[in-house]
Structure 1
Amino acid sequence: MTAQEGQEAVETQALEAQFAQWRHYAQRRRELQSSDADELEDHLRGSVDELVMAGLSADEAFLVAVKRMGSLDELSREFAREHSERLWKQLVLTGGPDADTRSRRDLRVMVLCAAGAAASLKAPELFGTKMTDDGSASLYGPNLGLFVLPWLAGFLAWRRQARRPLIGIMGALFALGAVAANVYPVADNSQSLALTSIHLPIALWLVVGLAYAADDWRSSRRRMDFIRFTGEWFVYFVLIALGGGVLTVFTAGTFEAIGIVSDDFISQWLLPCGAAAGVIVAGWLVEAKQSVVENIAPVLTRLFTPLFTVVLLAFLVAVCWTSTGIDVERDALILFDLLLVVVLGLLLYSMSARDPLAPPDLFDKMQLALVVSALAIDVLVLLAITGRITEYGTTPNKAAALGENVILLANLAWSAWLLLRLVRRHTPFAALERWQTSYLPVYAVWAWIVVLAFPPLFGYA
């Protein structure tokens, strides 16, 4: 027996064990006859086979099939409750005493972590450094993620019951980030400080991903779950920020009406502490109310995908018409990189809500046009950066932009190829999903390279 045949035998045995466990739950219902269970199991097996043929792994196909079945029949309710930590959407679950108890515990831990994040942000003031002081950028810029994200990772690790080795790895990565943010002798106006301030939160956010996918980070399904979590967390955080803005306006106005000026309190306490706590609260809300935002995200994706496609195509037409080169100054580079990241975000989020068995449609073709347009813009930016480096030499900003655009180019190029094959019905959707989730570590590695290697490489400039 070859190694591949052995692996397939192991997967088949594991799948049969899952079917047996599901049947055990099904037979608990007294009103369900044995023939009924046979018929439902046959339907479940057929769904699993279809999903496997579409490109999903056996474990992923089984979970998706059970979730679909549970949304149509109460048969899978107990099974879904038993495996609620493994199922993302939890569409078949309802409340109960156990769920209420867990919700209260989550709330208490969330409040503790939110208070810890706010306190961490204010901790430097104990040593005489305020956010509003001149020269505080060298402290707060690179350390901002370190003040907040360990608390979010801690909340998720507690909720996932992460094992001690994983907690140790996370702690080591946060400690490594703290060393990189505080040991290098960089000036307040240096490019290295700005790059660290931008890239370290990205690297640490992927450490949060380790906490979120505590059971199996190597699983494509768990990585896609974290992508969903990231998008939904962003939606909630923006909503919290908007609500906080309204609260700030009312706070300032009401106190000013009685002769009390609250500007210092708002700028030094309410806004920074509220933002730090909001990071944790948004994560808790996503965990507690997953099924609410997932109805919003696909709508936003379908709304903005055609709009961004039109904008990118119009930009390419304007470049060709005017023959104007792309500005490669720092602000322009950041803008173009953010644009490409938004395109990838639209692609990822539409993938997270797509039925893997659905045939390609007009929206898939529109996504292909969006990705191809972004790919063309990325090539133009790379040509501009390369030309400027060749003519004037390299700087930390240009080197970082060059590396990031090469990474985005590779992702966009292969995504465009897979989308083309998907539209032509030559490749299953699961191949595109696996490519995107397997590419996440590349972003993490590059972010750590910029944070750890760039400052000494460029003389802390």
Structure 2
Amino acid sequence: MTLQVLVDEWRGYVQRHRAISAADVDEMEDHLREQISTLQQAGLTDDEAFLVAVKRMGSVDAISREFAHEHSERLWKQLVLVPEDDENSTKSTELWVVLALAVVAALAVKAGFTWLPGERLALNISLLVLPFLAGYFAWKRQVSVRVGAVLVVPFVLAALVLNLYPFESGGSTEVIAGIHAPIALWFVVGLAYAGGDWRSGRRRMDFIRFTGEWFVYLTLLALGGGVLIGLTVGAFNTLDFDIEPIIEDWVLPFGMAGAVIVAAWLVEAKQNVVENIAPVLTRVFTPLTIIMLFALLIAFSTTPSPTGVNRDLLILMDLILVLVLGLILYTISARDPLAPPGLFDRLQLLLVVTALIVDLMMLTAMLTRIAEFGFTPNKLVALGLNLVLLVNLTWSAHLTVGFLRRTRGFAALEHWQTRYLPIYGIWAAAVVVTVPVLFAFA
């Protein structure tokens, strides 16, 4: 690997320790490069100079302790949720901005529940929440006016497409557009999260990590909210008060929209906490997912004919593959890129290969059904999704094998995933725009 790739890997590892600010990382990188330059002048090769320089700087935990000692007051303020001096104003402002955006998003969702019929609400639900999440990151990253304008355009186009297309009520293309619009718009949120710097592979990997952590926090908020609502309804029922209409009309809309914004803020405010449990989550769910995929393969192999496979099963299998892809991406984002190959990397390869086999079986069943019964909107979308996943999984397996054989660095796998990431957003946007037209909005 080149010296630049090695330094990028080191920087990415350091940046995962959120107690160290971006400015501090820049300072540390300058110090690292100075040491590398000195060692190169002494006759060491790039690889040798890098390894010796990193060794001299110590482990990242040691660097964190050193910075904490030299800048203890500033670092302590970064680690508390609401600091007590000048940063108090910034953090308090951010909290108020988050609360304001959460309330506005909740009011938008409430208006949607009130004025939009069920089908239109399902189509527009992402437009009622995600613009405010993108606005939060645009404000936090202090994006330029140009980037802000770029962020607005996709939301406007999505609103026009979803509300001007003459969808058949309850038709397949309407459902497909409603499912894929949030996926496409999530990548607009990613652009805001990256501060407009979407070309940066490091920023894309940060967004992958954020997505996984946001999902964890959102799930925790949903579970906690569900328990609280259940207890509240039970308590009021014992008093002969029917509070369910209030829950349905106000609490749920406000809770759903607010949780999306608040979960993102929690990830930003307390990333250290989730980063500590992220490796644990991936190590728990990776083997469980492998077992599930093997069970599905065994069950699928008992099907006498691909055309006899239930359509609902094909849809569920595609959803499982999407979840597997999410797990793979989150695992890659949570891994120490400088660590040597280990047992868990072999498990990761097994997961990728198993998912690849499932994908190939789905493609076979899909093509067989298309050949016999013809194209439908659902079949076309599922076929495209399987092909998109096939390319990613195939090359991911190849790069993982190279990493295990030590012929490639882990950075190659990271770079592949970050380069491929926009394909999912492009595919989702293409589905929303073109599939309804191809099938006459049926």
Normalising to structure 2: TM-score of the pair? 0.84
After superposition, residues 369-380 of structure 1 pair within 5 angstroms as: 369-380=350-361
Counterpart position of 1:4: none
1:449 is aligned to 2:430:
yes
Q: How far apart, in 2, do the equivalents of 1:346 and 1:333 lie?
A: 20
Among 87, 111, 118, the residue aligned to 1:99: 87
Letter in 1 for 2:282: T
Against the structure 1 CA distance between its residues 442 and 40, is the aligned structure 2 distance closer, same or farther, given a 3 Å change threshold?
closer
Among 111, 116, 125, the residue aligned to 2:104: 116
Once the two structures are superposed, residues 393-438 of structure 1 have per-residue CA deviations (whole angstroms, 9 ceiling, x without a partner) of 1011000000011000000000000011111111100000010011
Q: How far apart, in 1, do the equivalents of 2:382 and 2:175 lie?
A: 13
Q: How far apart, in 1, do the equivalents of 2:59 and 2:282 lie?
A: 27
Q: Is residue 298–residue 353 contact of structure 1 (8 Å, CA) maintained in 2?
A: yes
Once the two structures are superposed, residues 251-292 of structure 1 have per-residue CA deviations (whole angstroms, 9 ceiling, x without a partner) of 212222222201111112111221111100101111111101
Letter in 2 for 1:186: F
Following TM superposition, by how much is the alpha carbon of 1:125 offset from its aligned partner in structure 2, in angstroms? 5.7
Among 130, 143, 149, the residue aligned to 2:130: 149
Q: How far apart, in 1, do the equivalents of 2:282 and 2:395 lie?
A: 21
Q: Is residue 138–residue 187 contact of structure 1 (8 Å, CA) maintained in 2?
A: no
After superposition, residues 30-69 of structure 1 pair within 5 angstroms as: 42=35
Against the structure 1 CA distance between its residues 152 and 100, is the aligned structure 2 distance closer, same or farther, given a 3 Å change threshold?
same
Counterpart position of 1:402: 383
Letter in 2 for 1:377: V
Q: How far apart, in 2, do the equivalents of 1:39 and 1:382 lie?
A: 49
Counterpart position of 1:311: 292
After superposition, residues 353-372 of structure 1 pair within 5 angstroms as: 353-372=334-353
Following TM superposition, by how much is the alpha carbon of 1:97 offset from its aligned partner in structure 2, in angstroms? 2.3
Counterpart position of 1:217: 198
Q: Is residue 203–residue 448 contact of structure 1 (8 Å, CA) maintained in 2?
A: yes
Range moving further from structure 2, 215-224 or 378-387: 215-224
* 3-state SS of paired residue (2:306): coil
Once the two structures are superposed, residues 332-361 of structure 1 have per-residue CA deviations (whole angstroms, 9 ceiling, x without a partner) of 233112211222222211211212121111
Counterpart position of 1:350: 331
After superposition, residues 82-231 of structure 1 pair within 5 angstroms as: 97-124=85-112, 128-129=115-116, 136-231=117-212
Against the structure 1 CA distance between its residues 125 and 279, is the aligned structure 2 distance closer, same or farther, given a 3 Å change threshold?
closer
Q: Is residue 44–residue 69 contact of structure 1 (8 Å, CA) maintained in 2?
A: no
Letter in 2 for 1:415: S
Q: Is residue 418–residue 431 contact of structure 1 (8 Å, CA) maintained in 2?
A: yes
Letter in 2 for 1:74: F
Once the two structures are superposed, residues 369-390 of structure 1 have per-residue CA deviations (whole angstroms, 9 ceiling, x without a partner) of 1100100110010111111111
Number of residue pairs aligned between Structure 1 and Structure 2: 411
Q: Is residue 162–residue 215 contact of structure 1 (8 Å, CA) maintained in 2?
A: yes
Q: Is residue 213–residue 226 contact of structure 1 (8 Å, CA) maintained in 2?
A: yes
Letter in 2 for 1:342: L
1:295 is aligned to 2:276:
yes
Against the structure 1 CA distance between its residues 259 and 192, is the aligned structure 2 distance closer, same or farther, given a 3 Å change threshold?
same
Q: How far apart, in 2, do the equivalents of 1:334 and 1:152 lie?
A: 29
Q: Is residue 377–residue 435 contact of structure 2 (8 Å, CA) maintained in 1?
A: yes
Q: Is residue 82–residue 88 contact of structure 2 (8 Å, CA) maintained in 1?
A: no
Q: How far apart, in 1, do the equivalents of 2:268 and 2:406 lie?
A: 35
Coordinate RMSD, CA, aligned: 3.5
Letter in 1 for 2:391: A
Q: Is residue 102–residue 261 contact of structure 2 (8 Å, CA) maintained in 1?
A: yes
Counterpart position of 2:404: 423
User: Which consecutive unaligned segments of at least 5 residues does structure 1 have?
Assistant: 1-7, 16-20, 27-36, 85-89, 130-135
Among 271, 274, 282, the residue aligned to 2:252: 271
Counterpart position of 2:64: 71
* 3-state SS of paired residue (1:260): coil
Q: How far apart, in 2, do the equivalents of 1:25 and 1:222 lie?
A: 19
